[in-house]
Every structure is written in structure tokens, then in C-alpha cells.
Structure 1
Amino acid sequence: MLIEESKKSKIREKIEGFLKSEGLSLVEFKLFLKGNSFAVRVITDYPEGGITINDCARLNKLIFSYLDEEKILGDDFVVEVLSPGIDRKLTTKEDFLRVKNKFVALWLNTPIEGKEYWEGRLMDIEEKDLFIKGKKQLLKIPLDNVKFAKQKLEI
């Protein structure tokens, strides 16, 4: 069972429209087989973060109703609407803006001061640089030197 790219694009565009009308951003969209059924997985959040379980449930019903009425995937499908979670990988400037003033962990391509791993509070984001307040200093880290980054829980 395969789905045509045009149908997949149509579903994605419709979902992006639903999200946009709610002030949400699409983080990830997947359409895949789960057993003998199609599954639509949508990971979404507000640009500043903070999506709730109730938001996800409301969107799930909206997307399910649309797919059920249009019969694009037939009668046997599931819809999953999820938040990205705190351990979501930070890749774009928008991702970093969302976690400004929060605690982050960064793995670097090229060491700074002999270290490939830094953690601290993300104080500012400029066009091509992140400013991280570590335990003792404020670091300027070029975005293109970040191999992997994620938000960390503060305890």
C-alpha cells in the first residue's frame, strides 16, 4: 500500500493550514504504514513553545475529521498529534529563539577553548551566533559550529 506524493502533499498542505490558523508551526509531518493502516503523525508547537495536551487533542479531532470526510486514506487510518518534547533537537534559528533564556546543551564541530561540549543559558541569538552563559563566562558560538543542540531541564 503506497500513497501518491500528490495525496501526501495535499494532506500536508491542509494540515499546515489548520496549524497556521491556530498559530502553530509544523515541526514534523510523517505519513506511513502502521500495520495494515496508514498513520499520520504531526509534531507541532507554538513558535514560543507551550503546546498543551488539549491543543493536541483538538487538532487530532480536526485532522481526523478532515481525513475521514475526504476519504483520502480510505477508512482505516490513525492520526497522532504530538508536542515536540523538551529533548527535541534544535537545528534552526527559530528553534533557538524558542528556547532563548533557557538552559541548553551544545555539541560542537570544532572545539572552543578545547571543549566540544558546552552547556549554559542561551542569552541571545544573532544572525550567525549564539551567546551562551556558562558557569564562568559568556561564550559566542557560531551557529555553523553547532553539531547538535537541545534544551536541558533545569533542576
Structure 2
Amino acid sequence: MSEAIEKQIGSMVEPLIKEKGLELVDVEYLKEGAHWYLRLYIDKEGGVDMDDCSAISHVVSEMLDQKNPIPQAYMLEVSSPGLERPLKKEEDFVRFRGSMVMVHTTSPFKGFKKFSGNLIGLINDEIVLEYNDEHIAIPYNLVKKAHLALDF
């Protein structure tokens, strides 16, 4: 249920967010304790600030109040994706080429469920990483999540 709502909300709010010169990075709809949360993660070149988050929260809240696509009460949160930004779209794998990333798989691949390395790209439905001068090609259909990783 929440995946369908995330997709529906994403397609509804993305045009509004693009109109403001921002990018919709991710949508989460989940229950924590007794409360439901709708979280929108936005970004732009150079990062977002509180004014960006507030402006998006305002326009999205108005649109969601009018269309009422979510049956139960929820709290809307709009924020930056943070330093460990998720990689979800094909464009993310192009934009962050050369960056240190972490990839988590749904089941073991080559004996592991976590991989880190420099992103080569998304090639033939595989996330290709470079680690210790070797290339690792992880099938995209095994990926639970991929995100930027802090490189110390």
C-alpha cells in the first residue's frame, strides 16, 4: 500500500517541485508508532535550505489538501536528502559517477549484501563500482537501496 501511495504522490508533486527549480529525490510514506508520515526529499545544485523546504511544504500541502489522495491522517515533512543521498533514478547514477557509494542488496551477491566503491555507473541494468582496482557489477534487480557514502 505505501509503495503505491509513494508513487502516486511522487507523480503528483514532482511537477510542482520542478516548477520551483528543485528536484524530487525521494518520497517515503510510512507509519512510525501510531502516526503516518509523508516525507519528501528535495535537492538542487548547491543544496536546499529551510526556505526551499518551507516553500515546497506549503504548495504541496495545499495541493494534497485539495486532492486528498491519502485516506488517513499523516504528517508532511519536507527536507534535504542529506549527505548520504539515495540514488534512485538513472540520472543519479550519471550525475554521481566517480562518487563513493554504498549499495545494499536484497539477498547475498557474491557472498555479500553490502558493497562500497567509486561509482562507475549504471550499465546494462547493473550498478558498476570500482573497489581496490576491481570492478563489481551488481544486478539492479537485486538492489534494495543505493546511496552516496561519506568518504573519509
Same fold (TM over 0.5): yes
- Return the TM-score normalized by structure 2: 0.61
- Conserved 8 A contact 1:28-1:44: no
Match of 1:150, SS?
Answer: strand
Instruction: Output the CA distance in 2 between the equivalents of 1:85 and 1:97.
Output: 19
Measure how far apart 1:98 and its partner are.
4.2
Max radius of gyration: which structure? 1
Indicate the residue corresponding to 2:99 in structure 1.
102
1:119 deviates by: 1.0
CA–CA distance in structure 1, aligned partners of residues 112 and 39 of structure 2: 37
SS across alignment from 1:122: strand
Q: Which residue of 2 aligns with 1:51?
A: 47
- Quick check: 1:25 aligned with 2:24? yes
Q: Is the 8 A contact 2:100 2:149 kept in 1?
A: yes
Report what 1:136 is aligned to.
133
> 3-state DSSP class of the match of 2:133?
coil
Deviations 1:123-142 (A, max 9, x none): 22223122211023122222
- What letter is aligned with 1:21? E
Unaligned runs of 5+ in 2: 1-7, 69-73
- Once superposed, which parts of structure 1, at least 4 consecutive aligned residues long, lie more than 6 Å away? none
Question: Aligned equivalents of 1:16 and 1:124: distance in 2?
Answer: 24
| In structure 2, distance between residues paired with 1:45 and 1:137 | 32
For structure 1, which runs of at least 5 residues remain unmatched after alignment? 1-8
Residues 122-131 or 23-32, more deviating: 23-32
**Aligned residues between the structures:** 138
State the percentage of identical aligned residues. 23
The structural deviation recorded for 1:116 is: 3.7
For the 8 Å contact 1:30–1:41, the answer to whether it is kept is: yes
Which TM-score applies when normalising by structure 1? 0.60
Which of 133, 140, 148 aligns to 1:151? It is: 148
CA RMSD of aligned residues (A): 4.1
- Once residues 129 and 55 of structure 2 are traced to their aligned partners in structure 1, the CA distance between those partners, rounded to angstroms, is 37
Shift of 1:26: 5.5
